Amino acid sequence: MQAALPTMNSPRAVQQELERVGYFADLGLATAIFLSVSLGKPLLLEGEPGVGKTEAAHALAAITGRELIRLQCYEGLEAAQSLYEWNYPKQLLQMRLGAGETAALSDIYTHDFLLERPLLRALRQAEGAIILIDEIDRADAEFEAFLLEFLGDFQITIPELGTISASVPPIAVLTSNRTRDLHDALKRRCAYHWIDMPDPELELRIIKARAPGLQADAAAALVEAVSRVRSLPLSRQPGISESVEWAMSAMALERSGEDWPTALRLSLGLLVKEQEDLAHVMCEADLLPGSMA
């Protein structure tokens, strides 16, 4: 069973809808979202940190009107934290209250005693949900295997309770920073898209939208500076979120009285977050825009 997005029947329509909520996607990402929903496959977004993978899921939730349920992955994540857990204190109390009578299975293993974690909540959502499984590369191989089962049928079996399946299958979005190779089995099940750093025109539009009040020529100079910074051999490339933060913090400093070039220089730490990289960028004197306001 596939989810349907009634208002979007082509990748370009998806692109326009995303733009309406303030997320600027290129045609590739819009096609990926469209295909993942139409084919009924989870969407796996990979890319460098800061290119907008998590924001894509938020934007998708905004345009579909579905609730976004987020599961942050980490090493050692288990079913108890991601799927469900029994409410043990409540169960103990119930058993004490009913002491003397044989506690039947149905007494303490019911929905009242079930603590729903993100994945189960996504299944039970009546209007359908978007489940964001963030940074799946931080989880370990056991969790991936468990997730594969979940993403296959969107149904789980709780031993004491039975099988719970989704009335409306959720749309699953997985993100990865590629610090680890994911299992082929998981990748095969998903529609895969690698998000590159945006090209300058797209980045200019994003900065203009996220940092209103920044003048056009200052924004253009900022974007050019960021592309020059990215061409340097840094240990960590700044992403879009970093360039937006740089613009906004420089504007905040300018409002408090600094002139524009100084504001840019002082807030450089929001663009480049490693000490050696910062030193490298500071050496390149002509990198930062001159007096523009």
Partner 1 sequence: MSMRAEQHLNGFLDALAHAGLAMSPIRRSDFLRAMTLTDLLSVEDLYWTGRITTVSRVEDIDTYDQIFSVWFKDGKTVLEETVEQTDESESDQPPEMSTSGDAPSVECDDGTGQQASPDELLTNRRLPQTGPDKREICRRIARKAATVLPRQRARRLARSPQHGVLDMRRVVSHLRRSDGEIIDLFYRKRPLRLRRVLMLIDVSGSLKTTSPDALRCAHALMQAAPQMEVFTFGTRLTRVTRTLARGDIDDALQRLSDVIYDFDGGTRIGPSFEAFLGENRLQTLARGALVIVVSDGLERGDISAMQGATERLARLAHRLVWLTPLMGDPAFRPETRGLKAVLGAIDRLGNAATLGALCDEISGLDAQVERRARRGVASRWMRPVPVSGRPDDTKNTGRVL
Question: Where does this chain touch partner 1 (CB under 8 A) — which range of 58-66, 87-95, 150-158, 248-256?
Answer: 87-95
| DSSP-assigned beta bridge partners for residue 85 | 115
By CB under 8 A, tell whether 76 contacts partner 1: yes
Question: Where does this chain touch partner 1 (CB under 8 A) — which range of 63-71, 102-110, 115-123, 251-259?
Answer: 102-110
Which residues neighbour 154 within 8 Å (Cβ) at sequence distance 6 or greater?
123, 165, 166, 169, 170
Question: Where does this chain touch partner 1 (CB under 8 A) — which range of 61-69, 127-135, 182-190, 212-220?
Answer: 182-190
Which residues neighbour 209 within 8 Å (Cβ) at sequence distance 6 or greater?
22, 24
Residues shown for the chain: 293
Which residues neighbour 143 within 8 Å (Cβ) at sequence distance 6 or greater?
73, 77, 78, 82
By CB under 8 A, tell whether 86 contacts partner 1: yes
Question: Where does this chain touch partner 1 (CB under 8 A) — which range of 24-32, 119-127, 146-154, 253-261?
Answer: 24-32
CA 88, 90, 91, 94: dihedral to nearest 10 degrees? 160
Quick one: tokens of 211? Answer: 């940092």
Residue 18: half-sphere exposure toward Cβ, Cα within 13 Å: 25
User: What single-letter DSSP state applies at residue 87?
Assistant: -
Q: How far is the CB of 214 from partner 1 (least distance, A)?
A: 30
How many Cβ atoms are within 10 Å of 43's Cβ, its own excluded? 24
Q: Closer to partner 1 by CB, 190 or 223: give it.
A: 190
Q: Are 180 and 186 in contact (CB under 8 A)?
A: no
Q: Are 57 and 117 in contact (CB under 8 A)?
A: no
By CB under 8 A, tell whether 52 contacts partner 1: no
Quick one: tokens of 112? Answer: 């009242």
Question: Where does this chain touch partner 1 (CB under 8 A) — which range of 40-48, 115-123, 198-206, 222-230?
Answer: 40-48
Question: Where does this chain touch partner 1 (CB under 8 A) — which range of 90-98, 118-126, 210-218, 221-229?
Answer: 90-98
Q: x/- binding map, residues 104-123, to partner 1, per CB under 8 A? A: -x--x---------------
Q: x/- binding map, residues 236-275, to partner 1, per CB under 8 A? A: ----------------------------------------
By CB under 8 A, tell whether 14 contacts partner 1: no
Query: Contacts with partner 1: how many residues (CB under 8 A)?
Result: 50
Which residues neighbour 100 within 8 Å (Cβ) at sequence distance 6 or greater?
none
Q: How far is the CB of 123 from partner 1 (least distance, A)?
A: 20
Which residues neighbour 184 within 8 Å (Cβ) at sequence distance 6 or greater?
none
Q: Which of 81, 161, 168, 177 binds partner 1 (CB under 8 A)?
A: 177
Q: Which of 19, 116, 140, 224 binds partner 1 (CB under 8 A)?
A: 140
Q: Closer to partner 1 by CB, 94 or 241: give it.
A: 94
Q: Which residue has the tokens 């692109």?
A: 15
- Contact residues: partner 1, CB under 8 A: 10-12, 27-28, 31-32, 34-36, 38-39, 41, 44, 46, 74-76, 78, 80, 86, 88, 91-92, 95-96, 98-100, 102-103, 105, 108, 140, 142, 177-181, 184, 187-188, 190-194, 235, 276
